[in-house]
Structure formats: structure tokens, C-alpha cells
Amino acid sequence: MVNGSLKNVLSKKDRTIDRRKRLLIAMDAAFGMEYLHSKKIVHFDLKSENLLVNMRDPHRPICKVGDFGLSKVKHQTLVSGGVRGTLPWIAPELLSGKGLVTEKVDVYSFGIVMWELLTGEEPYANMHCGTIIGGIVHNNLRPTTPSWCDPSWKQLMERCWSANPADRPDFTAVAIHFRQYYSVFSHPKDFLAF
């Protein structure tokens, strides 16, 4: 993709990603993950570095999910994962080493990506790995949500990184949420109240 990874774009502090572009990038990533999960593929390493973007398209930014090196095909309802992925995008159930996990590990990672898109920051950038692991496993560490965050974005993001995988939406629900959220853009009057 023209601009490389989303991480690369976010690292350029002189570039701001407006609300509409953030939403379109998140939508594309969610649609890509919805497709993968429909094909029984769990990514296991969803992060901004593995989302490839084209910010130069004249109509809209484009985002594609990439790097399937840690992906696994889901058998029945559970996936044996082991610790795989990249801190701080690894879900608590993977870090705790409890064995079998569901595709909701990708949803957790997506919640962290939503935070990255929102803030342009790297999560837990100045923290030691051990502190991050302990905080995620004990479910008392999540990135701080800025006060200016849209309530709808915040609610979805925090549901995605919920400690309990059963409380996380699946990517079909995430895609539906984004479609509804984006429809507000076609009604500017409603957008101001959103």
C-alpha cells in the first residue's frame, strides 16, 4: 500500500487523521476482520503495524489487513493459541496462558487499534514489558481514553478490550456499529449532535 502501515502514518506527528478518515480506516479493518473470521481464520497479531493503508486515494483512505504469519484456522469453537502476538495488543486470556481461546482475541486487539487511531500514540509507550503484561493479565491496565473521545467510539472501543471475551462484540457487530456511525456523516446536522 502507498503509505505502508497505519503505524507508519500515525508516527508522523505532522499528519493528523480527521474523524472521517479514522472512521473509514477502522471500518475497513473491521470489515477485513469480519471476513477473516467468517472463513474461520484468527489473525492473532492485529495491530497498527499490520494494517496497510493508502491515504492518497482521492475518494477515501483505504485500509487492508496484512501479515498472517501468526494466523490459525479455527477448529470447532476454540483455537489453541499459546502466547502469540505483540504486546500491548495481546488479549488477557492469551497472556494468562489458559490454553484455548476464541477469535475474540482479535477483537481485543482491535480495541487497542481503535485507541491508536484516536490518539495517534503508541499504547503504553513508556512502560516496562513486565508491567504491561501484569496489568493486562490482572485487567487493571488499558490505555487512557481522552476526554474528547466521541461517546460512541469510546463505548465500542472499551467493549472490544473488555476483560471477559464473552463481553466483546464479534466483528459482525463491530461492522454494524461502524455502518451506523458512518451513516451520521451523510446527515451533517445529526453529526454535530453525535
Catalytic residues: 45
Listed as own residue / partner, the contacts of 18-21 with beta carbons closer than 8 Å and 24 or more positions apart are 19/150, 20/185, 21/55, 21/60, 21/61
Rounded Cα distance between 187 and 182, Å, is 10
State residue 16 phi and psi, 5-degree precision: -105, 140
What nine digits make up the cell of 151?
Answer: 461517546
Residue 102 exposed, middle or buried by CB count within 10 Å (0-12, 13-18, 19+): buried
Distance, CA of 69 to chain centre: 18
∠ at Cα 102 (70, 25), nearest 5°?
65
